A and B are shown apart, each in its own frame.
Chain A
Amino acid sequence: MTGFGDIMAKVGLLIAWGVLMGAILNEMGAISKLVDKLLHVFGPKGVPYALGLTIGTLLQSIFLDVLLVMSAPLARRIAPKLGKFGTAKMATAMAISLECGIVLMVPGVAAVALAGLLRVPLGEMLIFGLLVIIPTILVSIFIMNFFIQRGLWKTETDEEQAVAESPELEDVDGMVVHTVSHEHGHEHGEPSHGKTSQHAVVQGGGAERTATSSRVGLLPHDVREPGTGASKEPGLLLMFAPMLVSLVLIASGAFMKMAGFTPDAAVFLSTPVVALLIGLLGTSIVARMTIGTKRVEAAVVNGFKESGQILILTGAGGSLAAMVATSGMGEILGKYFSASTVAPLLVVWGIAAVLHIAVGSVSISAITAAGLLAPIAPALGINPVLLALAAGAGSLFVVHVTSNTFWLLQSMLGQTTRGTLKSCTLGVSVASVVALGFILVLSIFI
């Protein structure tokens, strides 16, 4: 299967690095700490936006399902502080940012795969993805909150009353089967992250732990909430620094390429595989100094377990896409596209949207759409980064009952299926259209 190999060659290592980095960050309790911080800094009104932006941009190295399972309890905890529609707002913000992030933001799995298939340099994808995703998340959450407050959301029918958290998703489709086992593993491994950080305190540690804690203890946030036990965790900036460094490296590589200034060393460092590896190494060093080698090793094992499934799925998507391309489908569609007067970006978006409604997985439909388009992309005469983004945005349209994310959001945030149709399906579709709008705006400039 050359398709399988092709896509693995482009994104295999990147996905593995990303997932491992995410697993370690997760083990450090980075997510719960971050959310606490956000609530403190932005207050209840700004939190949906802040959380959305953070999930959509900063946390994309963490595999979507894991991210959701980890951050959902925090979102639920925040929700009551936002007033009557708290759950609705948080659920919408999470759905939008999770789904947007995975297709539009490097190192989100689908975004990396899209860039690989359409031969977009990862740095370019990162920069333009950021340009699109930030306004998209803000505007879509704003639109959704506007409607939620004006009668879209009915608490009685859209939220589970007194939900017992139900991790077993037995009546959902096959799409979820693999996720369920994976999620179970996680529920056993880390029962709610607040507790994990308390364990960390109990486990004790060497001198460096004490050193870290005293420094972190200076943060006003920890002074305010001394009971969380978070004071023993490393500082937020320190935890995320290695990952930020690698993202900056990738982005600066792209800038240098545009400027035509490419010294060898810089090119090497900004190669995505190298840059993410640096981030991964940095993250593990920070983690080792703070949570101990044992837990880092456990996290890495977990990370490898998760990445196996993602890699196989991505590769399988790639082989289907390659088969579709060699079967001649690409040329046929290309013939119609180049003949059509409709704006090609709209068509790309549409194909991804149709595929997504049929296939039901955001990553797979984005990858398949890109696979269909890859052979004809040069003929269209558009910057491929726009095609990649448009395919990503289209694949967000109507996330519904065939999506495992849909069911995770439903059960983890205590919504009814009806409610999830509003917060997740409608919310993410709004984001899909908004993103298309911003991509079209972007296409004026590049």
Chain B
Amino acid sequence: MEDWQILSITAAVIIGIVVMILRLRINPALALVIGAMVLGLLTGLGTV
């Protein structure tokens, strides 16, 4: 995977977490874990 892909995915995930916390009012702890999972899936670390 290219550098820029990882960088932009990470940036998108962080923005997503912020949106989850601020707009959707999801508890920060949940938002962080969800964000971490999405980040893992998108950057191709596998599903396990």
Contacts and interface: CB of A to CB of B under 8 A. Distances in A.
Interface of A: 1, 3-4, 173-175, 177-178, 309, 312-313, 315-317, 319-320, 322-324, 326-329, 332, 355, 358-361, 364, 402
Find the residue from B10, B15, B25 having the highest chain A CB count within 10 A: B10
A342 B23 CA distance: 36
Contacts of A177: 25, 27
B3 to A, nearest CB: 5
Contact of A178 (B1, B10, B27, B36): B27
13 contacts: A175-B22, A177-B27, A178-B28, A313-B29, A313-B32, A316-B30, A316-B36, A323-B39, A323-B40, A329-B6, A329-B10, A355-B14, A360-B18
Contacts, number: 86
B34 to A, nearest CB: 9
A174 B24 contact: yes
A359 B27 contact: no
Given A1-B33, A316-B33, A358-B18, A327 B28 contact: no
A312 B29 contact: yes
B10 A324 contact: yes
Given A174-B24, A175-B22, A332 B7 contact: yes
Given A316-B32, A360-B22, 4 more contacts: A173-B22, A316-B28, A320-B39, A323-B37
The dominant DSSP class at the B interface is helix
Nearest to B10: A329
Given A1-B36, A327-B6, A361 B28 contact: yes
Contact of A174 (B10, B22, B32, B33): B22
Contact of B10 (A312, A313, A327): A327
A97 to B, nearest CB: 24
A173 B29 contact: no
A284 B42 CA distance: 48
A220 to B, nearest CB: 46
A316 B29 contact: yes
